[in-house]
Amino acid sequence: MIANIPFFEQVNQSFDRAAALTDHPPGLLEQIKTCNNVYHLTFPLRRDNGAIEVIHAWRAEHSHHRMPTKGGVRYTSQADEDEVTALAALMSYKCAIVDVPYGGAKGAVKINPRDYSAAELERITRRYTYELVAKNFLGPGVDVPGPDYGTGAREMAWMADTYAALRSTEVNPFACVTGKPVSTGGVRGRVEATGRGVFFGVREACSMKEDMKLLGLPTGLEGKRVVVQGLGNVGFHAARLLAGAGAVVIGVAERDGTVYREKGIDVVKLDEYRRETGGVKNFEGCEFSDSAAGLELKCDILLPAALENQIHDGNVDRIRAKIIAEGANGPVTAEASRILHERGVLIIPDTYLNAGGVTVSYFEWLKNIANVRFGRMGKRFDQKTNRNLLEAVESLTGKTFGEETIHRLAAGGDEEDLVNSGLEETMVSAFHAIRDCQSRHNGIDLRIAAYVIAINKIAVSYSDRGIFP
């Protein structure tokens, strides 16, 4: 029987296990754990056929230890207050772990976006934005949403445009959301940021010789067999980058089933096929089974990149992966996580692994606040400096590089180069901080180590403000 434990309670179970390893006062720990604000709103929607429908939506601000708060907005028929609150809490801890100076927040609109026209989705998004502004739940220094499950750059552009119309005198109104199109203040590299962050995190975990030895695996990504659940934005880009680094994607689970090929699947072609046909069934050269079976395939790395509670006490005994990389939020329940850790499975936790999105969203927010594109000030200077160095080397060695080589080596970083570099530095540094914390607390898993780091950083933030001496 599958235990039906509320999502927020599961998050708090992990929090409590980590909090027991700290020496902070109980009152401070309770403040860190508690969700500060939850706004449940309803509003009418006139459908294209003239019918009236009542829409339910939420925005939760879990922690104001840093401002603004930050978190995505998802459109899903499964949304409820518990889910939104739990995801907001995860955002608080995630931002702290990767040193992004935000409190955590999350939003949701309870709809299946596939059931609505583009015009209806625009009306829903703009009304949701209006209601958030009216209650001071949106603004560059207040609360900054971003894209999530069921939303994307289009919805963020609608939100930004609505906010700008309501706050026309603000200098940087488009900093009210992130994940926008580049043409409206977005940043290059944001679309693939979460998946790229997953790749960096998995790569670092697989570089740990001692950990790989315990799993009976060689160091590095080369040859590791990967199964991905969810070929959306996160799963696709993570799988593509892992494959590019030498891993072999042998299985992909989607809503309509699982495709499997031991020799490897071309995820770029599969994604094109999925977009054309609406699913993965009958993809050329692959075996096919039901969607749930994908999680139970024997592999080295299982990457759940769909929704929460996918691995639970009802299927945990059938999970055969050696590494679980949590691309989604909360894909492994608290009890299943404990069981897997005792079995020796390495879980790379969501609170760290999928932080690439919020990291690059932070870069976008900084770009909007500063009103200047990354690389604009220094690119030409860097090019000239690098060219001078290469020409000096030519002069000293007598070796000629050639103009094409000099041009390539001397090129300064553009916006996407700088964003990806900042993301890599963030993910690499955070992983080793978590790994070091795990070493100091012998016996805990990476999830609890990540929570310990988050709790300590949030506690320091409160203390430095004089709230809790």
Cα 62 from Cα 103, distance rounded (Å): 7
Cα 156 from Cα 368, distance rounded (Å): 14
Q: Which helix (H) or strand (E) holds 347?
A: strand 346-348
Q: What are phi and psi of 399, to 5 degrees?
A: -85, 135
Question: Contact 175/140 with Cβ under 8 angstroms?
Answer: yes
Residue 20: exposure state from Cβ atoms within 10 A (0-12, 13-18, ≥19) = exposed
Question: Contact 252/265 with Cβ under 8 angstroms?
Answer: yes
How do the residues of the chain divide into helix, strand and coil, expressed in percent and rounded to 5? 50, 15, 35
Q: Which amino acid is at 153?
A: A
Active site residue 180: no
Which residues have C-beta within 8 Å of that of residue 244, sequence separation ≥ 6?
none
Question: Contact 466/69 with Cβ under 8 angstroms?
Answer: no
- In sequence order, what are the beta bridge partners of 302? 227, 324
Q: Which amino acid is at 302?
A: L
Rounded (5°) CA angle 167-102-455: 155
Which residue out of 106, 180, 367, 379 is catalytically annotated?
106
CA 3 to chain centroid: 26
- In sequence order, what are the beta bridge partners of 321? 299
As annotated, the active-site residues are 106
